[in-house]
Each structure stands twice: as structure tokens, then as C-alpha cells.
Structure 1
Amino acid sequence: MGAVYRFLLTPRWLAVSLLALLAVPVCVFMGSWQLSRFEWRVNEHRTAAQDQRKVAEAPPVPLAKVLPDPRADVQDDDANRIVSATGSYDTAHQLLVPGRTLDDRNGYYVLTPLRLSGGAALPVVRGWLPGSASAAQHRGTVPPAPAGTVTVTGAMQYPETTESPDVDTSGTLPSGQLGIISGASLVNLLPYPVYNGWITATHPAAPLKAVPPAEAPGSSLDLKAFQNLGYTGQWFVFAGFVVFMWFRFVRREAEARADAALGILPGDPDGPDDGPDTPEAPLTPGPDGAEAPAEHDPTPATQAS
């Protein structure tokens, strides 16, 4: 080590270097831990997506295996599961769900309660149609539901909430329309018990178009995953910043000590400042014979008239 850097062996600089030496691995460890949390969340999301895909591709199961009774809740493992139910459509209480988009087009869902043998009804979204729900109601152009006993196959869906996309919570919809698909919103509109979950028909009759199953709540990467990724970058930046600042402080200290050894004061690379040169005043004989600086009369001489 050169003589200029011997100050690194002083107690103060040994403490600074030790602190930096400890801070770097701590920052790297924390960044690696945050990265592992992000990877864990990504793997969990990938696994959940694969499980849901398997559920959606599985053969239909009876509704009773998913919702034993109208008061039962849809379980996470049953989201988007294909179920089958047998009953008859209650066309007298058919509802339209406005403001729903499909393929970037605005339209509405056609929801018809399916009365089961026990008396309760399963909400069935028979399909989607483009245009205005109010106009379709006025013209009476909504395709009627099949009459008689039918067996419906569809994907089980969670009840919608006020945070679900495209829902209407204004409370100003006209009669015959529904803003949120859930048992809580239907219980006051239908004169019989309603299942809490609902299904979207897999094979609707033309011109209705099938409504794709909604993504189950919590199945997508949430904000916490991206927070972990952001914290990962921050910790690694902190580690690099510690190393950068240590080298910068060492260099400044070395330069300051080198300048001091050359007699250069801080802020003055040319050495000590003796001030500007001033001409010396001429010496004149004093009253006792000794030479003394001539007095300078600041008053300008005036020309005699």
C-alpha cells in the first residue's frame, strides 16, 4: 500500500471500511431474498393457472358436487369448473346485464334463472349480445330461452362484487336489468332461493356468443409480487452505492492528504496567498535624522491662482 493510502489503517478509516464491508453483503442478501419471494409468487401464479386450466378442461360434474345448496360458497378449487344442471328456464324473470364488453365491443349479458328440482334457481348467463340492453328490451329482440326441461353446461363463477370489472353500481338501471351478478343482488328480484354462484353457458344458441369465464380472484400476479421485484432492485442499488461512496471518500481523502504534503491549501492549488504586490512608499529623512516613510497627503494639490 502506498504511503498516500496509509490513512486506511487509522482507527477511523478501519471503522468506515468495516461498516462498508458489512453493508454490502447485507444489501445483497436482502436483494436476493426479495428476488426469491418474487420467484415464489410467480411459481404460485403459474401453478394456479395450470390447475385452473385442468379444472376447466375436466369433464362436467353435477352442480351438487360444487354447490350442495343455495347457501354454499364457491370454493377456490371450483372456480371455472365445468358443471351441469338440469331444470327449466324462468323466462318471466329473465334479466339483462348491460355494459359488458366482448372482443372490444360493448354489449350485454342475457341472464336467465334456471329453476332446479328443489325449487331454487341457478343464475345462468346464456350468452352475450352487442348493442344496448335498453334498446333490445324495447324492441323485444332478446332470443328466448329454450322451453321445457333442459340440461345446461357451463363454467362456475364467483359472485361479482363492486370491485369486479364492468359492474354497474349506480342503482339507476331500469326494470329488467342487473348491474352485479350475485345471489345478494338477485335475492330481492326473484321470488325463490338463488344460488350464490352462477355459470356462463359453454354452448349458447346463436346469435348469443359464449361469455368467457372470469379470472378467479387472487389468481393473477398481485401488487406484492411487483413490490418484491422493486425491492430487489433497490437493495442491489444500495450495495453498489455503498461501494461507490467508499471509493469516492477514499480518493478524496488521498487527494487532500497529497495536497497537504505539498503545502497546497484546500481551495488554493497555487499555494499560500501573500496578497497582491503593493509598491513600497519612498523613505524620507525624519526630524531626528532617521528615514521614515513619506507621508501621503490624500488631498489633491490645488493650483494657486
Structure 2
Amino acid sequence: MYKFLLSSRWLGWFALVCALAAICAFLGTWQLERRDAIKEDIGWVETNYSADPVPFAEAARYFEEFDPSAEWLPVEMTGVYDTANQRIVRNRPLNGRPGYEVLVPLKLEDGTAVAVNRGWLAIGNNEAGWPDEVPAAPEGEVTVTARLKPAEPALLRGAPAGQLASIDLAEYESQLGYPLEQAAYVLMDTEDPAPETRPQAAPKPSLDEGPHLSYALQWYAFGLLFFVGLGYAARQEAWNRIESGEDEEWEDDDADELHSAAPAPRRTRPVRKRRGPTGEEEEDALLDSQGF
């Protein structure tokens, strides 16, 4: 009934379904891996974001080699802003609005320099490519509480003078002319003394895992449905063959092939049986015997 499944056409369909199902399985696993990464990030936010600030001396190793488990950890630092080397970071949207971020080096008492992201500014109306106003950083000694963030990779695009395409600390250091911590920067929370105005503070990261789990289940379901669809098509094909008689013809052909393949039985010549005289012959013989 289902011998047609061994034909090249149906074997090709089966191979195609297997390939499509494998792609769906890969995409489902990828979604689960993304969910796991987001859950890990959420764990660091829950652990570190509201923790008590640690002094820079305890967190100094994270600026030399970043540890993902330290992301969002508040760090307290005291130093002086190098406002002359302030930079504007381009293409930094916030809540769907285009804008910029303000990056300023903070020179600490021991001579170490750390990049401080002071916050977000909306795109300006007065001059294209620049915010309308950049609130000044406090002058003199200032104590900054800020959260650890890893340095960003370099982007394959440039930026005007006074701006950066990303928080690429290696590029920033090349513009400063003095050493800058390379593995991490900090996202400002508070400054003491506090300025009258400051850039908009970054919001707390979302704790939403997103739809990755549902997407993964959908991809796995799609992969399974390919096999269900193939099975349904095979069932329909079998019924169509039965109704049209193709399946019986297939069986007759197979039977003929089997008979033709089997050795022919040895034929013997039939033996002719001797028959007795007929009624007419007996009557003729009786007349002859009486002289007629």
C-alpha cells in the first residue's frame, strides 16, 4: 500500500522535510540560548543594581579585565572631571527617541582615569548632529557613584570631531593622550556635589525575558508539522492509488515478476489412454458374425 514511498520522488520529499525540520530545530535552540543569556543578564541586574556601592579599590580589577558577573555593580570614585576632553556618543536611542550620551574622563586621586557616561541627551534642533545643550560636569573634586558596564566594540563608521561612534575606550584613549581604563566604563548614578542640571539618567534595565521561549516552541512545532504534513500527503496518495486501481496494478506487476523469476515446472507428455470399441463397431461386428 505504501511501497510508493520508496520512489525517488517521495524520498526527495522526505529529505527536504528533514532539512526544513533541522533548520526549525536550530532556530528553536538559538531562541532558547538567547533566552538563557537574557536570564543571566537579568540575574546580574537583580543581584548588583541595588547593591551597596563598593570603593574603586575593590572594583579596580574589573576595569582591567571585565567580569560579566560584575555588570551593574555600583562603584564609588572620587576625582576630577577632565571636561576639556568631553565627548558626545552618537546614535544612542532611549525609549524610541534618537539622542546622544555624554562621556567624560574622571581622573582619580591615584592618577587612574575612568570614562564616565553622565547620561542621555535628546537630539537637537539648533544644529544638525549635535544636542542643543550639554549640561556641564561639576568642577573641582567630585565623588561619583556609577555602575559598571563593559567597553563597547569599535564600529565601522566614523564620527565628527568631539564625538564618538561608540564607547570604544581604545579609540577614546588615543584621543586623550593619557592612559584610560580599557575594560569597562561606568554609568553615572549620582554626583556629589550635585550640579543644577545633568543629562537624563539611564533607566533601570528591563527584567522582561521577552518572547524567546514562545518563539522557540513555535519553531519546534513548525518542524514537527512538516512531518505531519508529509504523513498526511502520503496517506492521501495511498487512498488515491487504491481508488484508481494503481495499487492493484502494482501488486499484479509484482506477482508477474515473481512468477517469471520462479523456475518453470517440468512438463511431462500426457499418456493417451486406450479406449474400447464404440457402439457402432460392436453392431458391425455382430452382423458380420451372422453372415449378413
What is the CA deviation profile of residues 154-212 of structure 1, one whole-angstrom value per residue up to 9, with x for unaligned ones? 1211212245xxxx8224x02x3333223211112213210121112113642421134
**Contact conserved, 1:157 with 1:214, CA < 8 A, in 2?**
no
Q: Give the structure 1 partner of residue 200 of structure 2.
A: 209
Q: Give the structure 2 partner of residue 150 of structure 1.
A: 142
Aligned mates of 1:41, 1:138 — CA distance in 2: 35
Structure number with higher helix proportion: 2
Aligned mates of 1:162, 1:198 — CA distance in 2: 15
Q: Give the structure 2 partner of residue 297 of structure 1.
A: none
Aligned mates of 2:133, 2:26 — CA distance in 1: 59
Q: Which amino acid aligns with 1:203?
A: T
* Mapping 1:190-269, distance limit 5 Å: 190-196=176-182, 197-203=184-190, 205=195, 206-212=197-203, 229=217, 231-257=219-245
Query: Aligned Cα RMSD in Å?
Result: 4.5
Aligned mates of 1:60, 1:111 — CA distance in 2: 21
Q: Which amino acid aligns with 1:144?
A: A
- Number of residue pairs the alignment of both structures matches: 234
Q: Aligned to 1:66, what secondary structure does the other structure show? A: helix
Q: Aligned to 1:102, what secondary structure does the other structure show? A: coil
Q: Give the structure 1 partner of residue 270 of structure 2.
A: none
What is the CA deviation profile of residues 83-116 of structure 1, one whole-angstrom value per residue up to 9, with x for unaligned ones? 1211111222222334433344443322221101
* Mapping 1:271-282, distance limit 5 Å: none
Q: Give the structure 2 partner of residue 64 of structure 1.
A: 57
Aligned mates of 2:232, 2:201 — CA distance in 1: 59
2:181 is equivalent to residue 181 of structure 1 = no
- TM-score of the aligned structures, taking structure 1 as reference length: 0.59
Q: Name stretches of at least 5 consecutive residues in structure 1 with no aligned partner.
A: 1-6, 262-305
Give the 3 Å change call, closer, same or farther, for CA 180–203 of structure 1 in structure 2: same
* Mapping 1:16-55, distance limit 5 Å: 39=32, 42-43=35-36, 45-55=38-48
Aligned mates of 2:62, 2:153 — CA distance in 1: 21
Q: Give the structure 2 partner of residue 81 of structure 1.
A: 73
2:111 is equivalent to residue 119 of structure 1 = yes
Give the fraction of aligned pairs with identical amino acids, expressed as a percent: 26
Q: Aligned to 1:188, what secondary structure does the other structure show? A: helix
| Structure 1 position 74, deviation (Å) | 1.9
Which of 161, 170, 181 aligns to 2:158? It is 170
Segment drifting more, 227-236 vs 46-55: 227-236
Give the 3 Å change call, closer, same or farther, for CA 111–214 of structure 1 in structure 2: farther
Aligned mates of 2:90, 2:53 — CA distance in 1: 29
Q: Name stretches of at least 5 consecutive residues in structure 2 with no aligned partner.
A: 250-292
What is the CA deviation profile of residues 211-253 of structure 1, one whole-angstrom value per residue up to 9, with x for unaligned ones? 34779xxx98899x89855651342122212321231122112
What is the CA deviation profile of residues 54-88 of structure 1, one whole-angstrom value per residue up to 9, with x for unaligned ones? 22122212233333285x13221122222121111
Segment drifting more, 75-84 vs 50-59: 50-59
Q: Aligned to 2:151, what secondary structure does the other structure show? A: coil
* Mapping 1:277-296, distance limit 5 Å: none
- TM-score of the aligned structures, taking structure 2 as reference length: 0.62
Give the 3 Å change call, closer, same or farther, for CA 214–124 of structure 1 in structure 2: farther
**Contact conserved, 1:94 with 1:110, CA < 8 A, in 2?**
yes
**Contact conserved, 1:80 with 1:157, CA < 8 A, in 2?**
yes
Segment drifting more, 72-81 vs 48-57: 48-57
Aligned mates of 1:138, 1:208 — CA distance in 2: 14
Aligned mates of 1:153, 1:189 — CA distance in 2: 25
Q: Aligned to 2:181, what secondary structure does the other structure show? A: coil
Q: Aligned to 1:195, what secondary structure does the other structure show? A: coil
Give the 3 Å change call, closer, same or farther, for CA 249–108 of structure 1 in structure 2: closer
Q: Give the structure 2 partner of residue 275 of structure 1.
A: none
Q: Aligned to 1:203, what secondary structure does the other structure show? A: strand
Q: Aligned to 2:230, what secondary structure does the other structure show? A: helix
Aligned mates of 1:98, 1:40 — CA distance in 2: 30
